[in-house]
Amino acid sequence: MAPYVTEFDLYEPQNADDRELPIQKIAVVGSGSWGTALARIAALNAAEKKGFDHEVRLWVREREIPGQGLLTDVINSTHMNHRYLPDVPLPHNLVAVSDLVNVVKNATLIVLVVPHQFLTPVLDELSKPGVLAVGARAISAIKGVEVAGDQIHTFPWLIEQKLGIPCSALGGANIAMEVAQSEFCETTIGVPSKDDAALWHAVFDSPMFRVHPIEDVSGVSLSGALKNVVALAAGFVDGMGYGGNTKAAILRIGLLEMAAFTKEFFPSSSSLTFSHHSAGVADLITTSFGGRNRKCAEAFIKTGKTFAQLEHELLKGQKLQGVATAEETYQFLLARERTEGYPLFTKVYKISFEGMDPKSLFDDL
């Protein structure tokens, strides 16, 4: 056994038969690229492993596809999500459903993977009496944080507050299309208890998608949000034409700021989440070399356009995650009078919104 595997990583889910556990039923709320990729893995596992209801339901916002009928019908007949995960066959036990209440009916394991801005209406619906099954648990694969003044919360925290059920967090070096094509990768799940670890490990773990449960919900959540701010800095470096040394230095400093920020404001989190796990260092690397935050930040430097313009041109007006998080994080640090403790985050904000010279990124780091 490799000496670096921690005890918690060694957790082996108990055989459901031995424990006479109730059958678990999985629902996936959100059918973008990442939601569909996760739903595909969960459905493959539900079909193969003991202890799961065979059918996995996927929430799809219904619309008419010109000439083809309703989107749910198209997905359920072609077993493809053409728009968000083209050319990837989906298992037949994955069923697209448009009614949210119906999606989560009897579900004991609910995967939340809607865009940030849709979370509140989804939670409003799920929190109505009788909608959720008794003993249900949730996991959030939503990137971002919720900031209001000097308060900051993770999505799993919000979900627990609103639904009154335990919520885990999933994050890692996981570009959706590569996961869907079964390329080897890893992910981290931050869990509130060993039972959550067992169940969510069983839902997602497979030979090419290795799941490592750790007891750090906040760390996994914050890493998934803050990595996008560092990826903007990486894109600035690319845009200025600097090489591998500079980019690696920015990643290193960024990773330390991510861990320090999380430790300061979520003291129960662990810095190991950032230094040792896929949700930390590995996700940061992937995002800073391949993601769209990096790409738009490079364009920001090279074209001189604002992020608002770039979002309009490159993302059809969708808000770039890193830019939103950079702004929220900066406002939060300002409210807490702690900007000077996080020079990289602060400069990413000022370069993005206040016209600071990008070359000053390297001062006083």
Annotated binding site for NAD(+): 30-35, 118, 176, 292, 319, 321
Query: Residue 239: helix, strand or coil by DSSP?
Result: helix
Counting residues that bind a copy of itself (by CB under 8 A) gives 50
Taking CB under 8 A as the rule, which mask of x and - marks residues 271-310 in contact with a copy of itself? ----xxxx--xxx-xx--xx--------------------
Minimum CB–partner distance for residue 346 and a copy of itself (Å):
11
Q: Which residues are annotated as a binding site for substrate?
A: 143, 292-293
Closest CA to 41 of 155, 133, 170, 223: 170
Specify the stretch interacting with a copy of itself by CB under 8 A; choose among 60-68, 150-158, 260-268, 295-303.
260-268
What is the distance between the terminal CA atoms of the chain, rounded to a whole angstrom?
Answer: 39
Answer for the pair 56, 95: CB distance below 8 angstroms, yes or no: yes
Q: What are phi and psi of 339, to 5 degrees?
A: -60, -35
DSSP string, 192-225: SSHHHHHHHHHHH-BTTEEEEEES-HHHHHHHHH
Minimum CB–partner distance for residue 365 and a copy of itself (Å):
8
User: Whole-angstrom Cα distance, residue 60 to residue 251?
Assistant: 36
Torsion of CA 280, 209, 42, 129, to 10 degrees: -10
9 binds a copy of itself, rule: CB under 8 A: no
Q: Among residues 104, 142, 214, 251, which is the contact residue for a copy of itself, using CB under 8 A? A: 251
Minimum CB–partner distance for residue 358 and a copy of itself (Å):
12
Closest CA to 225 of 141, 331, 143: 143
Q: Which of 25, 227, 247, 350 is catalytic?
A: 227
Minimum CB–partner distance for residue 4 and a copy of itself (Å):
4
Minimum CB–partner distance for residue 41 and a copy of itself (Å):
13
**64-65 and 69-70 as β-strands: parallel, antiparallel, unpaired?**
antiparallel
Q: Among residues 256, 315, 334, 356, which is the contact residue for a copy of itself, using CB under 8 A? A: 256
255 binds a copy of itself, rule: CB under 8 A: yes
Active site residue 162: no
10 binds a copy of itself, rule: CB under 8 A: no
Residues sharing a CB contact under 8 Å with residue 231, sequence separation 6 or more, in sequence order = 284, 287, 288, 291, 293, 294, 297, 322
Q: Which of residues 54-113 bind a copy of itself (CB under 8 A)?
A: none
Answer for the pair 78, 128: CB distance below 8 angstroms, yes or no: no
Interface residues with a copy of itself (CB under 8 A)? 1-4, 173-175, 178-179, 183-186, 208, 210, 242-249, 251-253, 255-257, 259-260, 263-264, 275-278, 281-283, 285-286, 289-290, 340-343, 362, 365
Which active-site residues does the annotation give? 227
